[in-house]
């Protein structure tokens, strides 16, 4: 009788949904060893793509475009590798924290909009170098936001030397 009552009230289906969601969640979570392997694989692929992009830069005609594609893909892979360690949702939440929201926005804008769109249209080597430097600086500033008080020290360091 209790079984019939739970089926008619809908409690049985909610219980089944809960176990299905729990089983999907358990199946989608990765163990620590798998996370580390995924991080290393993604980071190495990102590094290889960035190096390959630099090597392809000197090809005539299409070298600059191949450099842009491989270098940007390498940086995206390197950034995505950290999602294996923390998980994608936690990583995205941390990227949008108030301490690094501006750094994340600048990094994404430089990587996606300026770097790819402008360089595909203009194909200018000097502009490519300028945006590579901007991309490295924005990625570094974003990465430093994960180390407590480092950005504050970097910003106040020139002021401490000007006093003496």
pLDDT single digits (tens) 110-135: 887 766 666 667 667 777 778 788 88
Q: What is the reported pLDDT for 88?
A: 80
pLDDT for 24? 47
pLDDT along the chain (164 residues), means of 10: 54 54 58 86 93 87 83 87 81 84 86 69 74 83 79 73 56
Q: What is the pLDDT of residue 57?
A: 81
Q: Which two tokens stand for residue 23?
A: 């089983």
Query: Residue 48: what pLDDT?
Result: 95
As a whole number of Å, the CA-based R_g of the chain is: 23
Q: State how far the Cα of 158 lies from the Cα of 148, in Å rounded to an integer.
A: 19
| Domain spans, the chain | 31-163
Nearest to 72 by CA among 61, 64, 62: 64
pLDDT reported for residue 160: 60
Output the CA–CA distances (angstroms, integers) from residue 39 to 91, 111, 124, 155, in the order listed.
13, 21, 34, 31
What is the structure's pLDDT at 146? 77
Predicted local distance difference test score (pLDDT) of residue 27: 54
Q: Do 80 and 40 form a contact (C-beta atoms < 8 A)?
A: no
Cβ partners under 8 Å of residue 156, min gap 6: none
Any idea of the CA torsion for 117, 118, 122, 125, to the nearest 10 degrees? -110
Instruction: Tell me how far apart the alpha carbons of residues 89 and 105 are, in angstroms, rounded to a whole number.
Output: 17
User: What 3-state class would DSSP assign to 87?
Assistant: coil
Q: Which residue carries 């790819």 as its tokens?
A: 116
User: What's the predicted TM-score (pTM) here?
Assistant: 0.64
């Amino acid at each position: 009788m209790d079984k019939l009552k739970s089926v008619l009230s809908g409690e049985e289906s909610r219980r089944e949904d809960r176990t299905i969601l729990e089983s999907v969640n358990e199946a989608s979570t990765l163990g620590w060893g798998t996370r580390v392997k995924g991080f290393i694989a993604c980071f190495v692929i990102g590094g290889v793509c960035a190096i390959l992009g630099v090597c392809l830069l000197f090809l005539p005609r299409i070298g600059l475009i191949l450099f842009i594609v491989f270098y940007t893909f390498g940086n995206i892979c390197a950034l995505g590798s950290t999602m294996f360690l923390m998980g994608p949702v936690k990583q995205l939440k941390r990227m949008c924290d108030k301490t690094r929201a501006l750094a994340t926005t600048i990094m994404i804008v430089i990587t996606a909009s300026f770097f790819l769109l402008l360089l595909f249209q203009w194909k200018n080597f000097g502009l490519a170098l300028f945006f590579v430097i901007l991309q490295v600086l924005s990625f570094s500033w974003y990465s430093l936001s994960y180390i407590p008080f480092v950005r504050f020290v970097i910003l106040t360091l020139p002021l401490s030397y000007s006093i003496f």
